[in-house]
Amino acid sequence: MGDEKSGRPETTSSNSAELRKLGNSQASVKLKYVKLGYHYLISNAVYFVLIPVLVISSAHVSTLSLRDLLRLWSLFKFNLVAVVFSSSVMVILSSLYFLTRPRKVYLVNFACFKPDPARKTPRELFMDRTINAGMFRPENVEFQRKILERSGLGQQTYFPEALIRVPPNPCMEEARKEAEMVMFGAVDELLEKTGVKAKDIGILVVNCSLFNPTPSLSAMIVNHYKMRENIVSFNLAGMGCSAGLISIDLAKQLLQVHSNCYALVVSTENITQNWYWGNDRSMLVSNCLFRMGGAAILLSNRPSDRCRSKYQIIHTIRTHKGADDRSYRCVYQKEDADGKIGVSLSKDLMAVAGEALKANITTLGPLVLPMSEQLLFFGTLIARKVLKMNIKPYIPNFKLGFEHFCIHAGGRAVLDELEKNLELTEWHMEPSRMTLNRFGNTSSSSLWYELAYTEGKGRIKKGDRTWQIAFGSGFKCNSAVYQALRTIIPAKEKNPWMDEIDQFPVPVPKVASVVS
């Protein structure tokens, strides 16, 4: 009802709410531009200082007379010995620097294994095999159904044949078949992409946490590809979903020692013998999340490979919280009350992951963040710890340090929490969410499916920085930073997304996961 005296309509509560929302929106936009202005000012502070100094110096030099210039030349002539000595020292120091500095390590290319369509396991097939196994109590069958529906996994993930078969046959022979299919499939595609021969590879690092046959998986690859006798090979086991980045870090360090060398990294997980057949709910979660997959990555320290490589490895940061008992036991393989082996996920998992992430980014931040963000973080820290001011901790804007994010697709709860804590957008989280939807949790190889998705969408431009981050048992949080050496053209790429990339992204509603 209007005001009869003024003729103005009465302001309703909904109008007030809209006005407040509009005001908050305008304030947010203003704050955004203030932050951008601050970032620009601090990032270019060196230029703002140097330009006036150069202008003043040039003006001063221009006022020197011919007599002054001759005097300077005379002074230089009499000190020729000192100049030669100083120049020699500079040359020696420069040579030592270039000879002792770390070699640049390039990521030449990578490949992700895409299983045969016959291995696709939609939710209905998964539940059918779960029920027919006859080992799960009805309430735990329903529990797995709820986990599956809320996990973020889609209808096209893959299971090994041994677990799809009726009855299932999780024996050693079938586990070897799965390992060979995944690893050889990824390596074959990688060698085809790069044109590198197996005998040219000097370093081999393979990681698989739960399947450790004798001979090892690395020996399986050496035997299959008839690699050379002096190859430096490693087989990493029991290191969880972050083992892929540990392998990258290990290969990178080895390439600092072995000159003119190629390193092959193979990351996978084997689930044929590691499906849990019991009724402990903390162990049943992994049945619903893990799926078949693997990746192969070729690294090089040859300067001649720079022109054909996709990325340069800039940083690898490893954080290990194993000294803390709660962290050590939050992802733990053990026997249940009935003697059946499984991997138990603790309720403390999210809290432990948060602590590990904090420690990791505290080390990574100063290496990748612009000075503007470091000053804000340091200023807030001083205010809270020294001045005892009651203010929130400042969360650095990592979007100023990276263009792309590949966060291990461990589950929806993990992705939701990281999106919130790092203040990322849906666009930044898209590669991780779509990888979880399409391929499930493929353990350490999931990061490479995510990078392949980013490439398939044509998002990688020359100079772009990508942050890979993964969590693993122990408990560990590991990071790797890459810089693109060229723009990736999707039409020239061969990766597991290319024949269906236009179908993504698909809507994935954010629902609190049972895992959390």
Q: Tell me the pLDDT of the chain (516 aa) as tens digits.
A: 444 444 444 445 555 555 555 555 554 544 454 555 555 555 555 555 667 766 676 666 566 666 766 676 666 665 666 667 777 777 777 766 666 668 999 999 999 999 999 999 999 999 999 999 999 999 999 999 999 999 999 999 999 999 999 999 999 999 999 999 999 999 999 999 999 999 999 999 999 999 999 999 999 999 999 999 999 999 999 999 999 999 999 999 999 999 999 999 999 999 999 999 999 999 999 999 999 999 999 999 999 999 999 999 999 999 999 999 999 999 999 999 999 999 999 999 999 999 999 899 888 988 998 888 888 877 887 887 788 888 777 778 899 999 999 999 999 989 999 999 899 999 999 999 999 999 999 999 999 999 999 999 999 999 999 999 999 998 999 999 999 999 999 999 999 999 999 999 999 876 544 333
Q: Are 478 and 249 in contact (CB under 8 A)?
A: yes
pLDDT value of position 371: 84
Full-model pTM: 0.83
pLDDT value of position 50: 67
295: β partners? 112, 267
pLDDT value of position 506: 95
Indicate the CATH number of 106-496 among 3.40.50.720, 1.10.150.530, 3.90.180.10, 3.40.47.10.
Answer: 3.40.47.10
The SS3 call for residue 177 is: helix
Rg of the Cα atoms in the chain:
28
Q: Are 475 and 191 in contact (CB under 8 A)?
A: no
Q: Are 289 and 123 in contact (CB under 8 A)?
A: no
The catalytic residue positions are: 241, 320, 404, 408, 441
pLDDT value of position 148: 93
Contacts of 411 (CB under 8 A, 6+ apart): 151, 152, 289, 436, 441, 513, 515
pLDDT value of position 512: 46
Write out the DSSP string of 411-444: -HHHHHHHHHHTT--HHHHHHHHHHHHHH-B-GG
Compute the half-sphere exposure of residue 342: CA atoms within 13 Å on the CB side of its CA: 23
Dihedral sign, Cα of residue 150, residue 151, residue 155, residue 159: negative
pLDDT value of position 508: 86
Q: Are 446 and 409 in contact (CB under 8 A)?
A: yes
Burial label, 187 (beta-carbon count in 10 A; 0-12, 13-18, 19+): buried
How far is it, in rounded angstroms, from Cα 498 to Cα 434?
A: 14
494: β partners? none
pLDDT value of position 66: 67
pLDDT value of position 373: 84
Using alpha carbons, list the distances in angstroms from residue 100 to 93, 94, 106, 247, 405.
11, 10, 18, 24, 32
pLDDT value of position 57: 65
SS3 content of the chain, % helix, strand, coil (to 5): 50, 15, 35
Q: Which of 456, 409, 145 is nearest to 291 (CA)?
A: 409
Using alpha carbons, list the distances in angstroms from residue 338 to 135, 277, 285.
12, 10, 18
Q: Are 441 and 409 in contact (CB under 8 A)?
A: yes
pLDDT value of position 497: 98
Q: Are 508 and 437 in contact (CB under 8 A)?
A: yes
Write out the DSSP string of 320-368: E-TTSHHHHHSEEEEE-TTS-EEEEE-TTHHHHHHHHHHHHHHHHHHHH
- Token pair 């002539």 is found at 77
pLDDT value of position 65: 66
Q: Which of 152, 169, 161, 170 is nearest to 125 (CA)?
A: 161
